[in-house]
Amino acid sequence: MSQPFNDIKVIDLTHVLAGPFATYQFALLGADVIKVENPINPDCARGRGGNTTQNSKMLGMNYQVQGGNKRAISIDLKTKQGQTIFKKLIKQADILVENYRASALDELGLSYESLSAINPKLIYCSITGFGATGSKAKINAYDNVIQASSGIVSQSGGHKPGVSFVDYATGLEAAFAISAALFRAERTGMGAHISVSMYETALLMMAPEAAREKNQHNNPNHLEAGIKTYPTQQGELCLGAFTPQQMSKCLKALVQDGYCNIKIPTLNEWDELWKAGESLHAELQDIFLQNTADFWQEYMHNIGLPAEKLRHLAEAVNDQQLDAREFFKKVTIDGKPQYIPTSAYKFDDEGGVKLTRSAPQISQHADEILQEIEIRPEEINALRKSGVIL
């Protein structure tokens, strides 16, 4: 069964997290993704991860989780020979993704205008901290500073969440935009220049809150008892009785089963739910202390309501649900089998996500990539001796 991006070629001029994650989406779905790195300064994510041996070999887990199925070559793009090689790759490519400093490629003569003259159908995607225009266009950024500047840290009680989710959400935004441009290119022959902003992605993930603040709506923070976390006799429970109807259902079951004896308030509208928030929160705190988080999780599931006990990541990654979904795929890294996350979706047929090989070593595929653009072996040797490639 053919994968969606078979015969699509992606030039991956990215590093760290957001850019490599965007191109990883295409690699999982059959595209030929060629990772282009600086011979002297390769992707810094290669040296990061929980296994120091892998890190020392530039095969760290931070790199592995978004590098599978790709091929790798190292080219010095500051040299004329390197730029010539790169342009030959671009001529055969469908997509270029880069996440360097704004205008960095322009300064090397590798702007969208220059490369689209070589390949008019090229989809050229640039991922930056704040986008290609505006007063902050040339300011560099990482996930943590975007979380700070966007209001995420403030919305999270003054603490930065311990994951780089802005990077990964930005990668998904980029992959979606590129897919849309690719769809248009197939119909019209038009290329595209796409600018993706981490800052805007962060705000997009807070769309209701951002819209409320932008429009200065008078919407005070209500205590929503149905989506709070509660201590129990053992562990904590995150309840998911979100709507007025779900909270009514929850309370009726608890009264019927003898866990409380309260007069259930009328909860048909949001305002009624919010008005009762304080009293319901106090009541539920007492109720959930009667048993364990495991008990209440099963209880809520049995009455058809969302609820989950708080778990550590070590528990979550070993959930049998993930095994049933084949979320983690086994690959060989440095001679040892290890497990890599793939995607949160599945095709019913065989044309969906496939992870067939681990992320490549530095410039692992240089010779075969160069031969595909008709550079002879003796020329490759000369390029390697001069330091243009590794």
**Which residues, 6 or more positions from 291, have their beta carbon under 8 angstroms from its beta carbon?**
232, 233, 299
Could you write out the three-class secondary structure of 351-377? CCCCCCCCCCCCCCCHHHHHHHCCCCH
HEC per residue, 197-234: EHHHHHHHCCHHHHHHHHCCCCCCCCCCHHHCEEECCC
Gap between the Cα atoms of 157 and 144, Å rounded? 15
Give per-residue burial for 230-251: e unless 16+ CB within 10 Å, then b. Answer: bebeeeebbbebeebebbbbbb
- Point out the catalytic residue in the list 167, 286, 348, 349: 167
Note whether 166 and 198 are within 8 A (CB). yes
274 neighbors 207 (Cβ within 8 angstroms): no
| Catalytic site includes residue 167 | yes
Rounded Cα distance between 27 and 340, Å, is 14
* DSSP 8-class letter at 100: S
Please say whether the beta carbons of 54 and 333 come within 8 A: yes
* Phi then psi dihedrals of residue 64, to 5 deg: -65, -35
* Active-site amino acid positions: 167
